[in-house]
Structure 1
């Protein structure tokens, strides 16, 4: 979508390199030209007559969890019209380190039991913080858990990519109703049994999916791969 060295947000940031892709956008490492600091920018091409951009929904959920250790800091959300003949929605966040999947691959897909147990404690605590805000993630997988990007945070795990997340309670505190016949939302490999059956997701499905992730990390693969 964008090239290395390209400037965005009226020249305030410069693309360093593409880091990957999320549910509804591409992620880039960017440099703030004024301070020379690095950030992560999730960029979504603006669709014509788009009323509710997914990136704005994701930023709303991250903002709701601001101050919690489970998500990266959010610095900017808006629409960039400074690139010729293009329009993008841009969300600028903390630049984090590698994902659990990246670490798993670099360790030749071999984590010992102690490592997996330490990861398990953080994953459960992180998703608990998300659920406290009436949010379910719905796309739990090793790629969506990142290690902190600085010496002070490198022992912390953060959750990213809330593009498929939703609220499981309304403003009155009422839980969403049971539904079936739903299409699968998330990543099939790690999804819960109920999700595969087309049942509306809730907190239980995030927790079951974490269990599948931990099984993957301790065994190297899942039985159904």
Structure 2
């Protein structure tokens, strides 16, 4: 991709951001892609880790294809397939109501995506409607799972044994939310959820 990515700094917003832009590939075709950027000065960089996870998950149904990862200027850059709206966007567009048929069709695909990630020995740790996106074009009825920055290996690849829980060495500096609290408690193992 090289020179095509040299002027991306003008679309930078948040420490990690994702934007849809049009790039010219090596054979001069116009392609629309999603570009996720992270400052090389980020306090807790996660884009390199996320790019490695995408590589491990490549080929799975509902996993976006990664086109390129590298550093350009002051940013880590992850280029992947452009996808459509998130489930959150669709839900809002539908006045926050889905039919029973739609819910069942989405649930079937969501479970399939999560199962695939688990079969690869990882847990996502950030499951929410914003991280499920619909495909576009010939994949418009296919659901994709994105944003693996918080994912964690939970099983040893060789032994298939669960990796014991341990406290993180560094803080991710995430906002204290009920969902985050639940995730942290779930990560410790079986809990009485009435106490959370």
TM-score range, shorter chain: 0.7 to 0.9
Question: Using the alignment, how far apart are the partners of 1:142 and 1:125 within structure 2?
Answer: 15
Matched, 1:161 2:147: yes
Structure 1: 5+ residue runs without aligned partners?
1-7, 82-86, 205-225
TM superposition score normalised by structure 2: 0.79
Which of 33, 37, 59 does residue 31 from structure 2 map onto?
A: 37
Matched, 1:127 2:119: no
Question: Using the alignment, how far apart are the partners of 1:186 and 1:157 within structure 2?
Answer: 27
Which of 66, 77, 81 does residue 74 from structure 1 map onto?
A: 66
Q: Is the 8 A contact 1:99 1:144 kept in 2?
A: yes
Q: Is the 8 A contact 2:87 2:130 kept in 1?
A: yes
Which of 149, 163, 169 does residue 136 from structure 2 map onto?
A: 149
Partner of 2:19: 28
Shift of 1:104: 0.3
Q: Is the 8 A contact 1:70 1:129 kept in 2?
A: no
Question: Using the alignment, how far apart are the partners of 1:90 and 1:102 within structure 2?
Answer: 25
Q: Is the 8 A contact 2:38 2:77 kept in 1?
A: yes
Matched, 1:138 2:132: no
Structure 2: 5+ residue runs without aligned partners?
191-196
TM superposition score normalised by structure 1: 0.70
Change (3 A) 1:37 1:138: same
Partner of 1:10: 3
Partner SS state of residue 4, structure 2:
coil
Question: Using the alignment, how far apart are the partners of 1:30 and 1:122 within structure 2?
Answer: 27
Question: Using the alignment, how far apart are the partners of 1:187 and 1:130 within structure 2?
Answer: 26
Partner SS state of residue 131, structure 1:
helix
Matched, 1:174 2:165: no
Partner of 1:59: 51
After TM superposition, list the pairs within 5 Å mapping 1:100-115 onto structure 2: 100-115=87-102
- Give the structure with the higher percent helix: 2
Matched, 1:96 2:90: no
Partner of 2:41: 47
Q: Is the 8 A contact 2:12 2:37 kept in 1?
A: no
